[in-house]
């Protein structure tokens, strides 16, 4: 039996807590920065906003005291990319070399353009950092719907520990040592999902979405390879797998925000209505990273124009459709 602490009581962090507790194998603690959020979950027995209808067991300890990390076997960061560094700094004094550190967030740090595992490694001195990524909507994980993900780490034993301890009859975990590829796929697919939603909002069809997803995974893989990833990784769960689920599901906040933008809602207002939209924040970071690495990312570039420079959506699509004709590259 492992002592597991999950930092972040949002949808995915809480879904992992519910899954781990239901397995009967672990002692589970969930930390939230906001005591009011904990009180609301306890009062209703569920997280009404993030996981309505999914009971949160009283056996799951909930606290706003970050020292809960001390002495645990595994600490899981379920924190949005923009807040990860701050929470890692808070937790660092209570983390020791024996703990396995898991990150489930997907994105790039704005400003530094660093992968989230790099952010963690800067704040927490550990060689046991594992990335857990793949097509895994919280709403389905919490309900025990069959799901497959990847535990990626340069430390094989740490990844194997995550595979063994978090794997259940409804959560199958594969291993991978391409941390850069797994993180890049998880971060950049949110950009394409936002675009997919925009196309839905405009009333475009399946042909458009298929083209967007296919060319999207191509430019994700190109940027990933330039950053040191293995291109083959993007053909797996953390690449095309995560892209499919995020572009096609209404569970996807990125897609839902995109639909609103396609319907004429401003990007800022769409993000306010939907909540955390990682693709919005990641777009600018990915665009800047592509310029730094000298990589062409036409879809990301046009989305950046729409989101941050007041660009017209239909004009952006016209730019993409009228680019110089070339051989298809895969």
Catalytic residues: 189
**Pairing of the two strands 26-31 and 147-152:** unpaired
**Pairing of the two strands 61-63 and 100-103:** unpaired
Give me the sign of the Cα torsion angle 246, 161, 108, 286.
negative
CA proximity to 295, closest of 210, 238, 218: 218
CA proximity to 23, closest of 70, 74, 61, 59: 59
Question: What is the distance between the alpha carbons of residues 14 and 11, in angstroms, rounded to a whole number?
Answer: 5
Geometric angle at alpha carbon 292, from 261 and 313, rounded to 5° = 20
| DSSP states of 176-235 | ES-HHHHHHHHHHHHHHHHHHHHHHHHT--HHHHHHHHHHHHHHHHHHHHHTT--GGGGG
DSSP 325: P
| Burial of residue 329, with CB atoms counted within 10 A of its CB: 0-12 exposed, 13-18 middle, 19 or more buried | exposed
CA 117 to each of CA 31, 126, 136: distance values in angstroms, whole numbers, following the listed order: 20, 11, 19
């Amino acid at each position: 039996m492992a002592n597991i602490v999950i930092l972040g009581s949002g949808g995915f962090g809480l879904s992992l807590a519910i899954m781990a507790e239901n397995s009967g194998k672990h002692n589970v603690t969930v930390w939230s920065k906001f005591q009011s959020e904990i009180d609301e979950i306890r009062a209703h027995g569920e997280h009404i906003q993030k996981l309505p209808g999914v009971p949160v067991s009283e056996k799951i300890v909930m606290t706003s005291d970050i020292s809960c990390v001390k002495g645990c076997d595994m600490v899981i960061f379920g924190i949005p990319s923009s807040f990860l560094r701050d929470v890692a700094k808070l937790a660092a004094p209570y983390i020791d070399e024996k703990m396995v550190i898991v990150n489930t967030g997907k994105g790039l740090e704005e400003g530094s353009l660093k992968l989230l595992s790099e952010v963690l490694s800067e704040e927490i001195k550990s060689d046991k950092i594992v990335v857990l990524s793949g097509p895994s909507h919280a709403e389905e994980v919490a309900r025990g719907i069959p799901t497959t993900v990847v535990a990626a780490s340069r430390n094989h034993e740490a990844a194997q520990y995550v595979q063994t301890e978090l794997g259940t009859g409804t959560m199958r975990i594969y291993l991978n040592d391409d941390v850069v590829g797994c993180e890049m796929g998880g971060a950049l697919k949110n950009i394409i999902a936002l675009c997919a939603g925009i196309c839905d909002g405009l009333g475009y069809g399946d042909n458009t979405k298929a083209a967007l997803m296919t060319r999207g995974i191509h430019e994700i893989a190109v940027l990933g390879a330039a950053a040191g990833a293995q291109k083959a990784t993007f053909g797996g769960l953390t690449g095309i797998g995560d892209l499919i689920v995020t572009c096609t599901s209404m569970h996807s906040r990125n897609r839902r925000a995109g639909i609103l933008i396609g319907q004429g809602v401003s990007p800022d207002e769409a993000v306010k209505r939907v909540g955390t939209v990682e693709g919005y924040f990641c777009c600018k970071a990915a665009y800047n990273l592509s310029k730094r690495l000298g990589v062409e990312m036409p879809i990301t570039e046009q989305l950046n124009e729409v989101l941050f420079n007041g660009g017209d959506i239909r004009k952006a699509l016209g730019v993409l459709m009228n680019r110089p004709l070339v051989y298809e590259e895969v």
